[in-house]
């Protein structure tokens, strides 16, 4: 098989990993001011993702690096045309990472409240903007014969893209609530379970509508069953959560996110960035890829190192698999040396 096609599929897998894993991180951050009634409860929520959030972000770094190496023309056009929203995502991720480390440094309510706001916005903005960005990638953008994106900010804020942003925002929030109900105990777990129906009132119609729009306008024959699986899994996740099947409900939202991402990449292929100016100006898997030698070297590197990365991340999830409760939190908000705790 063509190495360019293989690397297109590999990049899709990297984005699936990022959205599934970082998705619940974003969801926890979005829910922080709503479910964390006390500082102890907020610390329970933050400590639930503390050991894994930074490892989850490695997926987007790897995806960006793979795009740069395998499809440099795609990377260049995408990151120049989407410069402003991607800059906002970057700044939000930086602020969120700093907030995780610094909120517990000072025993002061106002200090912690500021960093909690940074965690919220640092989670909500990327959750929204990733959906806007990927919807525009599938829809296509104004691009000339030199593959220079000529779209302005208002061009990116079209109805389809805004629905995509609402879908990822609400879906990641629901995914985060499922994770908290699975990973925490006590009051935080109870509040997370109570929040699921309210979040689902937005997530289910938004995701279903976005999947339907994607399938009708850009989908292919083989993406249709995947879109149906994504919508069905989302409904099943809500039902399972209401029945107290927390592990299965989390698995179901993860399935929705994964299959929906496959639908987006499947609808995009063989393009990597369609041009709405003229289809002949579109970037495709073939005309945007690196040379075969580069792709061959990348393949061998991935074959050697990817299993090691997956083994390490799986091990970290296994080590920190137990529920977090108020009993695990110190009575005073003292700073601990472990990364991600607060």
Hey, which of 148-152, 272-276, 337-341 has the most confident mean pLDDT?
272-276
In which band, very low, low, confident or very high, does the pLDDT at 217 lie, cut at 50, 70 and 90?
very high
Instruction: For residue 335, tell me if it sits in a domain.
Output: no
Instruction: For residue 342, tell me if it sits in a domain.
Output: no
**Structure-token match 């003229």, residue found:** 278
Are 141 and 273 spatial neighbours (Cβ–Cβ below 8 Å)?
yes
In which band, very low, low, confident or very high, does the pLDDT at 108 lie, cut at 50, 70 and 90?
confident
Q: Work out the percent of the chain whose per-residue pLDDT is above 70.
A: 96
pTM equals 0.92
Instruction: For residue 328, tell me if it sits in a domain.
Output: no
Instruction: For residue 291, tell me if it sits in a domain.
Output: yes
Instruction: For residue 333, tell me if it sits in a domain.
Output: no
Q: Rg (Cα) of the chain, in Å, rounded?
A: 20
Instruction: For residue 137, tell me if it sits in a domain.
Output: yes
Instruction: For residue 340, tell me if it sits in a domain.
Output: no
Total domains in the fold of the chain = 1
Looking at every residue in the chain, the average pLDDT score rounds to: 91
Residue 81 has pLDDT above 70, yes or no: yes
Name the residue with higher pLDDT: 341 or 214.
214
Instruction: List, for residues 29-55, the tens digit of each pLDDT value.
Output: 999 999 988 899 999 999 999 888 888
Residue 337 has a pLDDT of 40
Instruction: List, for residues 286-336, the tens digit of each pLDDT value.
Output: 999 999 999 999 999 999 988 998 898 899 888 888 888 888 776 544 444
d(CA 163, CA 331): 43
Residue 330 has a pLDDT of 63
Residue 80 has pLDDT above 80, yes or no: yes
Instruction: For residue 224, tell me if it sits in a domain.
Output: yes
Residue 154 has a pLDDT of 84
Q: How far is CA 326 from CA 104, 111, 320, in A?
A: 16, 21, 16
Instruction: List, for residues 199-214, the tens digit of each pLDDT value.
Output: 999 999 999 999 999 9
Q: If you average pLDDT over residues 4-24, what whole number do you get?
A: 95
Give DSSP secondary structure letters for 79-124. HHHTHHHHHHHHHHHHHHHHHHHHTTSS--HHHHHHHHHHHHHHHH
* Containing structural domain, residue 11: 3-321
Q: Report phi then psi at 287, rounded to 5.
A: -85, -5
In which band, very low, low, confident or very high, does the pLDDT at 166 lie, cut at 50, 70 and 90?
very high
């Amino acid at each position: 098989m063509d190495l360019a096609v293989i690397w297109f599929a590999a990049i899709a897998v990297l984005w699936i990993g990022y959205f599934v894993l970082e998705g619940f991180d974003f969801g926890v951050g979005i829910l922080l001011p709503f479910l964390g009634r006390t500082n102890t409860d907020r610390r329970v929520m933050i400590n639930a993702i503390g050991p894994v959030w930074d490892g989850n972000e490695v997926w987007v770094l790897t995806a960006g690096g793979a795009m740069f190496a395998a499809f440099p023309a795609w990377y260049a056009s995408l990151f120049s045309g989407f410069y402003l929203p991607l800059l906002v995502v970057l700044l939000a991720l930086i602020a969120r990472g700093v907030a995780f480390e610094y909120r517990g440094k000072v025993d002061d309510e106002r200090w912690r409240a500021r960093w909690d706001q940074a965690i919220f916005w640092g989670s909500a903005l990327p959750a929204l903007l990733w959906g806007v960005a990927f919807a525009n990638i599938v829809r296509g953008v104004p691009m000339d014969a030199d593959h220079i994106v000529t779209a302005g900010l208002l061009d990116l804020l079209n109805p389809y893209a805004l629905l995509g942003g609402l879908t990822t925002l609400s879906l990641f929030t629901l995914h985060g609530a499922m994770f908290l109900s699975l990973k925490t105990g006590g009051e935080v777990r109870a509040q997370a379970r109570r929040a699921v129906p309210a979040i689902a009132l937005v997530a289910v119609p938004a995701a279903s509508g976005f999947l339907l729009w994607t399938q009708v306008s850009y989908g292919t024959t083989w993406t249709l069953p995947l879109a149906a699986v994504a919508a069905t899994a989302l409904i099943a996740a809500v039902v399972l959560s209401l029945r107290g099947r927390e592990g299965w409900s989390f698995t179901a939202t993860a399935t929705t996110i994964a299959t929906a991402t496959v639908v987006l990449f499947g609808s995009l292929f063989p393009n990597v960035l369609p041009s709405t100016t003229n289809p002949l100006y579109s970037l495709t898997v073939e005309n945007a890829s690196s040379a075969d030698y580069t792709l061959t070297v990348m393949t061998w590197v991935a074959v050697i190192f990817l299993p090691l990365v997956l083994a390490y991340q799986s091990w970290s999830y296994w080590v920190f698999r137990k529920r977090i409760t108020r009993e695990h939190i110190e009575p005073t908000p003292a700073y601990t040396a472990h990364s991600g705790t607060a």
